[in-house]
Structure 1
Amino acid sequence: MYQFFVDDAQVHEHEIVIEGSDVNHIRNVLRMKIDERIRISNMSGKAYFCHITLITEDMVVAEIDSEDDNGTELSNRITLFQGLPKGDKMELIIQKAVELGVYKIVPVSMKNCVVKLDEKKAAKKVERWQAIAESAAKQSKRTIIPLIDKPVPYKLALEKAGKLDVTLVPYENERGMDATRQIMGQIKKGQSVGIVIGPEGGFAPEEIKLADDNDMHRISLGRRILRTETAGLATLAMLVFNLDS
């Protein structure tokens, strides 16, 4: 069953109107027909099972069959603070993190980041990254489209992370999965969680000290050194195992 997203104003009492680029996708790419079933989510986080009743050049109308009461979202809102990686690794990270249930991704400029983005380049990147998040949300039947924030400096990222209930900092010099299991096991459903991931060059000593000073939990992800594009996803997978119902 295909998934689509609409604004709240497009949801009516008995039907939902799909407009914009999704109309062309439904008509000419998916070649969907009348009575085919689809799942639609609005910006308020509600999802509906529907069937198509009308397809025109400008709109697709779907009648609401039922509301998806179970949904697909975690009860915990998880924010991934990702040190900017090289090349197109960020695209992979966003795609897979969305599939795993991340709520928001904040790209972070850190001392060992090779990539340096000015404001103009950053805006274009965020636009591209947000489109990838939307596509991944559709594919994985998310009820919301996770937000991709604009890149921020490391200190500002820690300020944002400090407002969350729990923040995890996977660190290659940390040892002991028992401590990781214990910390993750103490996270309660409904708590907000942050994950801070260093770039290819890892955390600078002063950066990891700042995380310690802000009472964030340094954790191990095992005895092997993980790449930056793997570390955040591995942490998310562990959290999903512990938190998903």
Structure 2
Amino acid sequence: MPRFFVEPGQIRDGYIYLTGQDAVHITRVLRLGRGDRILVLDGRGKSYQAVIEDAGRTRVICAVTGEIPVFSSPGPRLTLVQGLPKGDKMDLIVEKSTELGISRIIPLVCERTVLKLEGDKLSRRRERWLRIAREASKQCRRPDVPEVDLPGGWDQALRDLDRATALIPWEEENVLTLKSFLRENTNPGSRFMFLSARKGGLPPVRWSGPVPTVSGRLRWGRASFEQKLPVWL
């Protein structure tokens, strides 16, 4: 059954209203029409079974026929604080982080960040990342969509440190592994914040203990999501 993510405001009085690219995809790509069934998710863990009642070029109206209970992940809540890389590498990081189950992504503007985003460009880039996260959730059949913050500095990122355990990779650590640390310290409701800024640089920060990263010369993007994130799962 085709799956679509919507904002909660698009669900009103037993009906779901899909517009924009979703409407185009339903009518022109999938060739769906009145009577066809789809699955709609609100991005917060709740799913709705729906049947199309009206399919126009710019808007599709569906009637809710069933509701699936709210999804609750049994694992810890994982936040990725990611130093902004240059170019469009952040697109790939958002996509793979979504596929790996990250709950929240905080793009971090570091001391040596090359990519500069201001004004409208800042909000447009965030909207792009949200679309990428939504599409990645759809492709991997994830029932929710991770939060993606506006890029910001350390003050923004550190607000949550009092409620989460911060994990910072350190290439000189050879005993403690991230996987073993999480196994021993994960409880219901655990929150972890993983900080990664290979190119941008991290300022001096106190933390309870280092965790390892991969040694050697690796491509920046691949080192981030292929070498570090999979050990969480």
Alpha-carbon contact 2:178-2:231 (below 8 Å) kept? no
Post-superposition shift, 1:102? 1.7
> Aligned residue for 1:180?
178
| Identity in percent | 29
Post-superposition shift, 1:89? 0.4
> Aligned residue for 1:54?
54
Residues 10 and 113 of structure 1, relative CA distance in 2, 3 Å threshold? closer
User: Using the alignment, how far apart are the partners of 1:163 and 1:139 within structure 2?
Assistant: 34
Residues 225 and 20 of structure 1, relative CA distance in 2, 3 Å threshold? same
> Aligned residue for 2:221?
229
Task: Please list the CA deviations of residues 169-194 of structure 1 after superposition, one character each: whole Å capped at 9, or x if unmatched.
Answer: 12223323x43233111222322221
The reply on whether 1:138 has 2:138 as its aligned counterpart is yes
Task: Give TM-score scaled by structure 2 length.
Answer: 0.82
Post-superposition shift, 1:237? 2.0
As a proportion of its length, which structure holds more helix? 1
The reply on whether 1:166 has 2:165 as its aligned counterpart is yes
User: Using the alignment, how far apart are the partners of 1:69 and 1:107 within structure 2?
Assistant: 31
> Aligned residue for 1:112?
112
Residues 118 and 125 of structure 1, relative CA distance in 2, 3 Å threshold? same
Alignment of structure 1 residues 6-85 onto 2, 5 Å: 6-11=6-11, 15-42=15-42, 44-69=44-69, 71=71, 73=73, 75-85=75-85
> Aligned residue for 1:220?
212
> Aligned residue for 1:122?
122
Post-superposition shift, 1:162? 0.8
User: Using the alignment, how far apart are the partners of 2:25 and 2:53 within structure 1?
Assistant: 16
Alpha-carbon contact 1:73-1:143 (below 8 Å) kept? no
Residue identity in the other structure for 1:134: R
Alpha-carbon contact 1:129-1:148 (below 8 Å) kept? yes
Task: Please list the CA deviations of residues 9-37 of structure 1 after superposition, one character each: whole Å capped at 9, or x if unmatched.
Answer: 44356553333431122111222244444
Task: Please list the CA deviations of residues 189-216 of structure 1 after superposition, one character each: whole Å capped at 9, or x if unmatched.
Answer: 3222211101336x35xx2x31xx1x35
Alpha-carbon contact 1:84-1:109 (below 8 Å) kept? yes
Post-superposition shift, 1:225? 5.0
Residues 59 and 115 of structure 1, relative CA distance in 2, 3 Å threshold? closer
Aligned pairs, how many?
Answer: 231
Task: Give TM-score scaled by structure 1 length.
Answer: 0.78
Residue identity in the other structure for 2:133: A
User: Using the alignment, how far apart are the partners of 1:64 and 1:3 within structure 2?
Assistant: 14
User: Using the alignment, how far apart are the partners of 1:226 and 1:72 within structure 2?
Assistant: 35
> Aligned residue for 2:188?
189
Residue identity in the other structure for 2:179: R
Post-superposition shift, 1:226? 4.4
Residue identity in the other structure for 1:237: P
User: Using the alignment, how far apart are the partners of 1:160 and 1:228 within structure 2?
Assistant: 26
User: Using the alignment, how far apart are the partners of 1:70 and 1:237 within structure 2?
Assistant: 26
- Give structure 1 stretches of 5+ with no counterpart: none
Post-superposition shift, 1:39? 1.8
Alignment of structure 1 residues 86-101 onto 2, 5 Å: 86-101=86-101
Task: Please list the CA deviations of residues 25-83 of structure 1 after superposition, one character each: whole Å capped at 9, or x if unmatched.
Answer: 21112222444442211255311233434323443233444433474856433221111
